[in-house]
A and B are shown apart, each in its own frame.
Chain A
């Protein structure tokens, strides 16, 4: 099947095996042109393996990888028009910053002068012009990170691969770099494929996210979809904080599913394709979509007792032991304190879900 010229990367049934161990179990996904795409998952989920397969550092055991319609899986790394920002940056320690950035251009056959001129422009873009003559070891971690970016962007790759490039930076710098990366992606119009285990980072920067676990893709979607409509237990649990309830589905009608808890308490939520009547599944409810009251707001309100209030700056997390179910976390934003009440530990209260807050999950 010929590839689509307008899709940046098309991974088709890609399998990666190391001896008996299967690192990637038949992954297929399409990354669009000019997209900030994130591969998200815990360590060992296969996200870096997939990235290295696109870069050409790992063989593809089975399947195909297409770059703007051309098969690239059998090409050596130097023949693939993609560049990588490495986790440890891998700046050439014996070369100046300028020569580092010019390296890719020179290898592509540009004259030394042209390469250096363009490298100079790239350093300007990442605001490091004044360090052009220094060696990498004379730069801070954040600066090295930007040099690595400039070096990878200088040859104008069709796709930029980023292998957890922010993980070595401290929190403040990381936040700043997240925005800078996002801006850089928009300015250059180059497709970015970003690998991270940090879900917050993924939600902040990405146009779309592929959540991976144990060599399989769990869900592919926009940050909002991934967060608000997690497909299964893994995604709901890995992305953000959530509350899980074991429910049985009684009835599915008009896009709504009526369920009940083990004790018989009824709950209603949006139905999900693939989960029918009689199914025993989990329901996920995000803590910020719950609120507490001293009297039941509706028949579905869950009875409970406040165990603890935890102050976390912008929010207060309240742990509630449900009468029928596990411990719940209810998050109340400090800006919402006028509308939503906080109760002292020991108070008997009711936990209420906002409309559409419950989400049924596949296992």
Chain B
């Protein structure tokens, strides 16, 4: 028996399943320091190390930096959230 039962094949069951399902999606990654990273989630691993593309760094809601590719060390991650906003709209 898996958590969440057998029904709902589209829904994710475990945190790890969720992380697998959001690869390639636009995400917001918040770090313990409060800094936000918005970009496309390329991949991640069991340590929650994250590879992102077209990453924008927000400090106190202000865009501070852009990275073509970025590796974020997992121990700094507070949460990963999917964002509907596209990159063009994300800076507004």
Query: Do A and B bind?
Result: no
Tell me the A residues contacting B by CB distance below 8 Å.
none
